[in-house]
Structures are given as structure tokens and as C-alpha cells.
């Protein structure tokens, strides 16, 4: 809104602190960055050379001997999961709550995947994604990192509407 003098006027309560704006932007930016990494990893998993043993790439299962960067066991399904995770993360990161939920919820998914990798027999049919020990450690770090970002990048208390718990 502008007044007769040309001065920009804000509606009451429209003032936002620089810290609060930064926090909201930071959580959305972090979620988008994580999403981009997932998209990139999903695409790289389909590129021979970056994925060694590409000729052994299977749709799913532990029989796939394809290794992203020569380290992380992948399959077509594994790559598709990375791509879908990236698309979902990018889509929901348009809002603060979506970005935070993606980081925390996605982090929990990756911690569950870590435990899954620890308890299954890597040479059995249960290893459908597939995962190896390097994947397990990466999933642990991803899970902890995503959850950490989701909790650390919180809005400043003065940017939360009193009594509602929602960000202004």
C-alpha cells in the first residue's frame, strides 16, 4: 500500500524481522539444496563411467553390481527413488512447513533405511533397493544432517503468531 505522499505503508503486523526472514529462507534453501543433490545423484546413477559396472545395473535387488562413483551400490529402482525424493523435496520446499517437514521426515526415512541396511543380509532378496556398507553410512549421515537442518533452521520466536504456533 502507498500513502498520498508515495510512502510505502505496511499493514499492521506485516513487519518481519531480518532474522525471521533469514530463517524461513534458510530452511527452504536447505531443503531445495538437498533436493538438488538427490536429483543429481539420481541422474548420475544412470551415467556409465560415473557409475562403474553399469552393464550389471539391474532394476532392483542385490544382484546389481553397479556402483555410483565406484562406492555406492545402485540399481534402477535406487536411482528412481533418489529422483522421486528430489522431486518431492523440491515441490514441498516452496513453503517453510513443507521444507521443514521434508528435511525432518526425509531424515527419519533415511535413518530407518540405515537400520534396514544394518539388519538385512546384503546378499539376500531383502536387499531390494540395494544397499551396501557405504550406503548405510551415507544414509546415516544424510538422516542426521537432514533432521539437524530441519531443527536448527527454525523461525525466530517473534515470527510465530501468538497462540497459533504458525509462522507469520
Domain map of the chain by residue range? 18-154
Confidence of residue 154 (pLDDT cuts 50, 70, 90): confident
Whole-model pTM over 0.85: no
CB-count exposure of residue 65 (10 Å: 0-12, 13-18, 19+)? middle
Confidence of residue 18 (pLDDT cuts 50, 70, 90): very low
**Which pLDDT score is estimated for 121?**
95
Between CA 128 and CA 143 the distance in angstroms is 20
**Alpha carbon distance, N-terminus to C-terminus of the chain:** 19
Residue-wise pLDDT tens digits, 60-109:
999 999 999 999 999 999 999 999 999 999 999 999 999 999 999 999 99
19 has pLDDT over 50: no
CA angle 55, 50, 142 (to 5 degrees): 110
Residue-wise pLDDT tens digits, 26-51:
999 999 999 999 999 999 999 999 99
Sheet containing 51-52: which strands, arranged edge to edge?
Answer: 51-52, 67-68, 72-73
Amino acid at each position: 500500500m502507498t500513502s498520498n505522499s508515495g510512502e510505502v505503508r505496511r499493514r499492521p503486523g506485516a513487519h518481519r524481522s531480518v532474522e525471521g526472514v533469514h530463517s524461513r529462507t534458510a530452511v527452504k534453501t536447505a531443503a531445495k539444496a538437498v533436493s538438488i543433490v538427490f536429483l543429481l545423484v539420481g541422474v548420475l546413477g544412470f551415467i556409465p563411467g560415473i557409475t562403474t559396472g553399469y552393464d550389471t545395473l539391474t532394476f532392483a535387488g542385490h544382484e546389481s553390481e553397479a556402483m555410483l562413483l565406484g562406492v555406492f551400490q545402485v540399481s534402477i529402482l535406487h536411482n528412481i527413488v533418489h529422483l522421486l525424493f528430489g522431486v518431492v523435496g523440491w515441490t514441498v520446499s516452496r513453503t517453510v512447513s513443507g521444507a521443514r517437514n521434508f528435511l525432518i521426515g526425509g531424515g527419519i526415512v533415511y535413518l530407518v533405511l540405515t537400520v534396514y541396511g544394518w539388519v538385512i543380509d546384503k546378499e539376500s532378496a531383502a536387499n531390494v533397493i540395494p544397499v551396501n556398507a557405504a550406503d548405510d553410512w551415507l544414509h546415516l549421515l544424510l538422516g542426521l544432517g537432514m533432521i539437524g537442518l530441519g531443527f536448527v533452521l527454525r523461525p525466530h520466536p517473534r515470527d510465530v503468531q501468538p497462540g497459533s504456533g504458525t509462522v507469520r
